[in-house]
């Protein structure tokens, strides 16, 4: 029997990239590869990249440079770049880093086995097409290994919103929803392999409109169908757009017990003037009304958001509007960033806010968001929550998992086991996590 080849994948960015990395590993598993956690022992290294953050491409080139000694020590080592930087840069990656053997975009990684076979014969391969075929239809199935208790499942890809700051429509393509039957089959397979919680993924996941046997399904209808799968105990979804928060999805938050009371709903700014400049196509008021309706359906809903400060043209008054919106909503978690230009996007051509001004605004915003997050966590002390246990903790007799509100919880219970949903009482709030004991 031929010795298994070893595959090292480093994943950057969003949960969808995490999902994509798993599927790339599955695809190459049928070509004789097994995963490794050490690049030094790999026969193939793949960087699954993200293009959202500042200087994303330069960080990839820097990482590639660190692999030069490995390539020198093992000339048979193959190195590939996948994901959104691969889509944006294409053959330029190979020009700047000759050690790269293959470049594959996020819509063509189902072709990885053929690309791997080509590079093994001494060729180099680039594929950054937006193919007509659905990559999910053509992905070979890897071994049905046991899985941990949580998993991601992509249901929708691409974006038609064209926010002025965002590269996703150019790197992931137009919005496409996967057919219902394939999602249901993948979900059942995950549950059979030990998964108890599934997070549905999409660039605009609540824009999901997938083909079913009896017509087009919404995300809410898909969630209700998944909730009937025996053994699947929890459902989440991310990331949503305010304009796609339809009535049936809002209702599902109130009447589907398996849909967890946590929602990530980015707003980016509280200023209508800046939202218009961002091409967000919603107002601060319309966003707040969506939040109002969601909380009417599920009063204990924990909300998370995204914010960009220092967007071109942002004034202190615009920033004050953002702070006012944050105070009105009260977020339990949040992500906030200084604006950084993405080449090729409309906003990249506009005059920027001075860096010191943007930094000061980010500091003030993050102070408020941190205060809200701490208050949300502190309010959990004394409450009973359900925790899906995922792994052992650092202390003897301790397990770690996530509550229904997505808080990390350390449970002191020597009898607990991975995959168990434990009812616990929160005893302490610490930075970014909670401590609890069995009820």
Q: What is the pLDDT of residue 128?
A: 81
Tokens 């051509």: give the residue.
349
Integer Cα distance of 397 and 435 in angstroms: 13
Q: What percent of the chain has pLDDT over 70?
A: 95
Q: What is the pLDDT of residue 58?
A: 82
Instruction: Please state whether beta strands 176-177 and 102-104 pair in parallel, antiparallel, or not at all (unpaired).
Output: unpaired
| Contact in structure between 312 and 350 (CB atoms under 8 Å) | yes
Q: What is the pLDDT of residue 138?
A: 57
Q: What is the pLDDT of residue 1?
A: 46
Q: What is the pLDDT of residues 158-217, one digit of tens each?
A: 899 999 999 888 888 889 999 999 999 999 999 999 999 999 999 999 999 999 999 999
Residue 88: pLDDT band (50, 70, 90) is: confident
Q: What is the pLDDT of residue 172?
A: 82
**383 Cβ contact list (under 8 Å, min separation 6):** 425, 426
Please give the model's pTM, rounded to 2 decimal places.
0.84
Question: Comparing C-alpha atoms, which of 232, 34, 231, 234 is closest to residue 145?
Answer: 34
Domain 5-131 matching CATH 3.40.50.12160: the answer reads: yes
Integer Cα distance of 232 and 355 in angstroms: 47
Q: How far is CA 47 from the centre of its chain?
A: 16
Integer Cα distance of 155 and 367 in angstroms: 35
- In angstroms, what is the C-alpha Rg of the chain? 22
Using the predicted structure, report yes or no on whether residue 136 has a pLDDT greater than 70.
no
Structural domain boundaries in the chain: 5-131, 146-378, 384-438
Listed range (77-91, 221-235, 320-334) with the worst mean pLDDT:
77-91
**Tokens standing for residue 269:** 């700014």
Q: Which fold has domain 384-438?
A: OB fold (Dihydrolipoamide Acetyltransferase, E2P) (2.40.50)
Listed range (2-6, 160-164, 328-332, 370-374) with the worst mean pLDDT:
2-6
Listed range (85-99, 237-251, 269-283) with the worst mean pLDDT:
85-99
Q: What is the CATH number of domain 146-378?
A: 3.80.30.20
Q: What is the pLDDT of residues 1-32, one digit of tens each?
A: 457 899 999 998 778 888 889 888 988 988 88
**Tokens standing for residue 118:** 């080509």
Q: What percent of the chain has pLDDT over 90?
A: 75
Q: What is the pLDDT of residues 390-413, one digit of tens each?
A: 999 999 999 999 999 999 999 999
Q: What is the pLDDT of residue 144?
A: 55
7 bridge partner residues: 35, 44
Question: Comparing C-alpha atoms, which of 211, 207, 279 is closest to residue 246?
Answer: 207
Other beta carbons less than 10 A from residue 336's beta carbon: 20
């Amino acid at each position: 029997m031929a010795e298994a080849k070893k595959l090292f994948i480093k994943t950057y960015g969003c949960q969808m990239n995490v999902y994509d990395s798993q599927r790339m590993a599955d695809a190459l598993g049928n070509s004789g590869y097994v995963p490794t956690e050490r690049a030094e022992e790999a026969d193939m290294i793949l960087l699954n990249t993200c293009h959202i953050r500042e200087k994303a491409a330069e960080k990839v080139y820097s990482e590639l440079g660190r692999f030069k000694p490995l390539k020198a020590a093992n000339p048979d080592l193959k190195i590939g770049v996948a994901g959104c930087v691969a889509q944006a840069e294409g053959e330029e990656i190979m020009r700047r880093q000759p050690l790269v053997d293959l470049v594959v975009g996020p819509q063509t990684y189902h072709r990885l086995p053929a690309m791997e076979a080509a590079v093994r014969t001494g060729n180099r391969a680039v594929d950054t097409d937006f193919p007509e075929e659905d990559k999910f239809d053509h992905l070979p199935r890897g071994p049905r290994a046991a899985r941990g208790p949580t998993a991601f499942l992509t249901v929708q890809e691409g974006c038609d919103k064209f926010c002025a700051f965002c590269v996703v429509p150019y790197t992931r393509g137009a919005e496409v929803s996967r057919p219902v039957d394939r999602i249901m089959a993948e979900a059942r397979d995950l549950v059979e392999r030990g998964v108890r919680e599934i997070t549905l993924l999409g660039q605009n996941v609540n824009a999901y409109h997938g083909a079913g046997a009896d017509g087009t399904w919404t995300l809410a209808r898909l969630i209700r169908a998944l909730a009937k799968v025996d053994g699947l105990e929890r459902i989440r979804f991310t990331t949503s757009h305010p304009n796609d928060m339809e009535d049936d999805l809002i209702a599902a938050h109130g009447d589907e017990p398996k849909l967890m009371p946590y929602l990530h709903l980015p707003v980016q700014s509280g200023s209508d003037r800046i939202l218009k400049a961002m091409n967000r196509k919603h107002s601060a008021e319309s966003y707040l009304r969506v939040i109002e309706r969601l909380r009417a359906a599920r009063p204990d809903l924990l909300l998370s958001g995204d914010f960009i400060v220092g967007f071109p043209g942002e004034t202190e008054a615009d920033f004050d509007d953002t702070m006012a919106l944050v105070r009105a909503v009260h977020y339990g978690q949040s992500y906030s960033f200084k604006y950084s230009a993405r080449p090729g996007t409309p906003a990249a051509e506009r005059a920027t806010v001075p860096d010191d001004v943007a930094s000061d605004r980010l500091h003030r915003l993050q102070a408020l968001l941190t205060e809200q997050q701490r208050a949300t966590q502190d309010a959990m002390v004394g409450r009973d929550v359900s925790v899906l246990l995922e792994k052992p903790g650092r202390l003897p007799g301790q397990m770690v998992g996530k509550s229904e509100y997505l808080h990390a919880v350390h449970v002191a219970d020597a009898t607990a086991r991975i995959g168990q949903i434990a009812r616990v009482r929160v005893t302490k709030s610490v930075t970014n996590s909670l401590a609890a004991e069995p009820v």
